[in-house]
Structure 1
Amino acid sequence: MAAATRPPRVLLVHYWLVGMRGGEKVLEALCRMFPGADILTHVIDHDSLSPRLHQHRILTTSINQLPWSKQLYQSYLPLMPQALEACDLAGYDLVISSESGPTKGVIVPPDTPHLCYCHSPMRYIWDQYHTYKASAGVFARLAMPYIAHRLRQWDVTSAARVDQFVANSEHVANRVQKYWRREAAVVHPPVGVADFAPVTPDKRGDYYLWLGELAPYKRPDLAVEAFTRSGRPLKLIGGPDNSVSRLEKNAGSNIEFLGKTDFDTLKYHLARCKALIFPGEEDFGIVPVEALASGRPVIGFNRGGIRDTIADGRTGILYDEATVEGLNAAVSRFEDSDLATCGSDVFTRAAAEFSEERFAREMWSLIKAMPLPHGVDWR
């Protein structure tokens, strides 16, 4: 008689749960794959989470008990490695960490496989360290050299604890190799492509669209300056309000700031713009795929994850110079191409390659190849 087996007990480790952004959407997809899994995180804001995540048992590290942790969680970054290592993971048969802040450093039982889905190695201690330091306050700038040095040591050491790395793009896989010297499979994150739909050509507008958080690395300033110079109409969706005020000072009358909008308004403009403008460098970039699902092409800077999502000349225009001249030349190239007038089918077909079904299928292929503890098996 064959020995009795039971299904694995799964733990999902996520850096912090204080909002619903791209990383949390991936976590939701993992929760649908493992409806009985527990979640471990450093800090939780229950009011900011989706109903899907609330269906799971959520555990926290000691960071959650520190003063004002929901607001100051990033200030507690130096304490997170020790907080992770203090967590007892006995009884779990599979651990999947979702890495962008510290999560992969958990210590799992010897026979428990650990898969890390990496959104990005921590930018603030690696490739964007000097950018973050330059924009930090006085005390943070003084402390960062020591803290970042120690965090880098732990980050590299803890990478050796992971059995299988999965990166969300080729760009991130290259950074995993660069900083951790580990190979990573590439599985693109799931995008809610079914939530978007194209409109007929007669309903489209004559404006371009920039969409996202108005953070410096997303380069809304470059888009504003380029379109102010060219005179072409541009709408920007995103906040915060103080960033809108700063950008408005240098914007021409052809630039319209819509601020933060509801989802219906966002979808309305994605489907009706001439093209999405994407001048920043992202690890993956969900917004370009949402534009494709809305039947619209993308004009983007040829760095980072956009290389995985946009085919130059077929679903958009990619340009190499991160300058006003480079962006305006790309827009001119777009207007002279067939992309400006072609149908939406080519874009929506490309977007369909990033569905949650594809994500789950590729993740299952990797997960089921990992050896589980004795007496545990997928049923």
Structure 2
Amino acid sequence: MTPETPSAPRPRKVAIVHYWLVTMRGGERVLERICDLYPDADIFTHVVDEGALSQTLKRHRIFSTFIAKLPLAKTQYQKYLPLMPAALEALDLSAYDLVISCEAGPAKGVITRPDAVHVTYCHSPMRYIWDQYHAYRKASGKLAGLYLRLVAPRMRAWDRMSASRPDVIMANSQFVRRRIGKFWGREASVVYPPVDVDIFQRSDAVSDECVWISQLVPYKRPDIAVEAFTRSGRKLHVIGDGPMLETLKAKAGPNVRFTTRMRFDELRAAYAQARALIFTAEEDFGIIPVESQAAGRPVVVFGRGGGTETVIDGETGIHFHEQTADSLIAAMDRFDAWLPGFDPEAAIANASRFARANFLRDFAAEVARAERLVAADSVLASAEAGASTDTAFAADQPQTW
């Protein structure tokens, strides 16, 4: 009998599940880096607008759930939130050995093979059903608020239940890790998202003007910065666009100016030449403060959320602890006294903690840890099954005394 030639190991098939792909923002930039690690992975999502995606993502096969076939799905996808659990569970991922879910909307609830490895990278548990539920409901219209009130309890139950499905959960900050523990009852490791810190450079031409950079939407709290700088007379350059633009312009003094669009080279120069970045939002992580520090400039940041992890109070910036203009004005007074001792190189060194290479290393290490956990569980399950068989066999034998 001719011995059989051992077959080569089957290539590992990888699936990445992302909540929706309709723009290129922070979550999608992280997805690009995950794709760097797994260039042959297939991507699954609820709805996709291929015209909005980068070439990195377009190189992958992208599959959508049945949500994509519903009316106006590309723009009104969040209104289909109650259907997304069923859409995820309908995905057949049985061919995949490694499943990576990227969670900010529903993504982790997919069903995988028992021996498959499932890891979740969590940007945030869904804020509109958890810690920001009341704020979202109050900001919604009457019908939208009633709709959210009706669907949120069921979504919370499913969200917590489906959190048991991943083998390993990664959080993008300690702030998100604590929320995962509170809302999902799961432990999570922290893998900070990647920031392209190397593309920013210091400048010797620092101005007397601070910058505020982001979308002009309520939760970013640009109103605090505009009011504080208008009252104090300090110069502020607001860079961004959004529904609050005209209201903010009407309230701003002559010392506050606005720019809605910038080329990226202009934005890099704005970071590097600013007296400081003003960051008023409570973010899960917040890439903008890291970019400012990578350009060698300090940050005056709201002292809650991810900003407390990326900006070192008294070394690379100043924290303020209430989302009010008064608190920001007091922080700016402290900042003025502190600034002469600021070292730009300390800010650059701090920003380097969040470099792309560190994300790739730490993410790969967590996947390897998940693989070891699943392998150990498989060995344990096999041993227990063998022990059960031996016990059953012994019970069938005649007893001798």
The answer to whether the superposition gives a TM-score over 0.5 is yes
Extract structure 1 runs of 4+ deviating beyond 4 A: none
1:219 aligns with 2:221: yes
Equivalent-residue separation in structure 2 for 1:327 and 1:340 (angstroms): 19
CA RMSD of aligned residues (A): 1.4
Displacement after TM superposition at 1:260 (Å): 2.8
Asked whether 1:48 is paired with 2:52, we answer yes
CA-CA distance at 1:17 after TM superposition: 0.5
CA contact (8 A) 1:319 1:326 kept: yes
Rounded Cα–Cα distance in structure 2 between residues aligned with 1:264 and 1:138: 43
Question: 1:340: how far off?
Answer: 4.4
Q: Counterpart of 1:179 in 2: which secondary structure?
A: helix
How many angstroms apart in 2 are the aligned matches of 1:239 and 1:188? Answer: 27
Unaligned runs of 5+ in 1: 375-379
1:277-296 alignment runs, 5 A limit: 277-296=278-297
Partner Cα distance (1:287, 1:149) in 2: 33
Question: Partner letter of residue 356 of structure 1?
Answer: R
CA distance in 2, matches of 1:260, 1:285: 20
Check conservation: 1:274, 1:340, Cα contact below 8 A: no
Partners of 1:340 and 1:270 lie apart in 2 by 18
Residues in 1 aligned to 2:265 and 2:371: alpha-carbon distance in whole angstroms: 44
Residue 344 of structure 1 deviates from its aligned partner by 2.1
Paired AA for residue 352 in structure 2: A
Q: Where does residue 19 of structure 2 map in the other structure?
A: 15
Q: Which residue of 1 aligns with 2:245?
A: 244
Q: Deviations over 1:332-362 (max 9, x none)?
A: 111101x346442111111111111000101
Question: How far is 1:42 from its partner?
Answer: 0.6
- The answer on 1:349 being equivalent to 2:352 is no
How many Å apart are 1:307 and its aligned residue? 1.5
- Per the normalisation by structure 1, the TM-score is 0.95
Match of 1:29 in 2: 33
Question: Is this contact kept in 2: 1:169–1:188, CA < 8 A?
Answer: yes
**How many pairs align?**
370
Where does residue 175 of structure 2 map in the other structure? 171
1:62-113 alpha-carbon deviations (Å, 9 max, x no partner): 1111111111111111111111111100110000100000000011111111
What runs of 5+ residues in structure 2 fail to find an aligned partner? 376-401
**Distance in 2, Cα, partners of 1:2 & 1:219:** 62
1:254-306 Cα shifts (integer Å, max 9, x gaps): 11011132222211111110000011100000000000111101000110011
TM-score (norm 2): 0.90
Structure 1 Cα separation of the partners of residues 24 and 347 of structure 2? 26
Q: Does the 8 A contact of 1:119 with 1:167 survive in 2? A: yes
- Residue type matched to 1:353 in 2? R
Tell me: CA distance 1:257–1:157, structure 2 relative to 1, closer, same or farther (3 Å). Answer: same
Amino acid paired to 2:364: W
In the aligned structure 2, how far is the partner of 1:79 from the partner of 1:183?
A: 27
Percent identity among equivalent residues? 49
Is 1:205 aligned to residue 224 of structure 2? no
Give 3-state SS (helix, strand or coil) of 1:249's partner. Answer: helix
Counterpart CA distance in 2 for 1:106 and 1:52 is 24
Give the corresponding residue for 2:275: 274
Match of residue 129, structure 1, among 119, 128, 133: 133
Partner Cα distance (1:84, 1:268) in 2: 43
Q: Which residue in the other structure is 2:100 paired with? A: 96
**Per-residue Cα deviation, 1:111-130 (whole angstroms, up to 9, x for no partner):** 11110000000000001011
Conservation of the 8 A alpha-carbon contact between 2:315 and 2:342: no
Note the C-alpha offset of 1:7: 3.4
**Equivalent residue letter for 2:371:** P
SS in structure 1 opposite 2:371?
Answer: coil
How far apart are residue 4 of structure 1 and its match?
3.5
| 1:160 corresponding residue in structure 2 | 164
Counterpart of 2:236 in structure 1 is 234
**For residues 284 and 365 of structure 1, what CA distance do their matches in structure 2 show?**
21
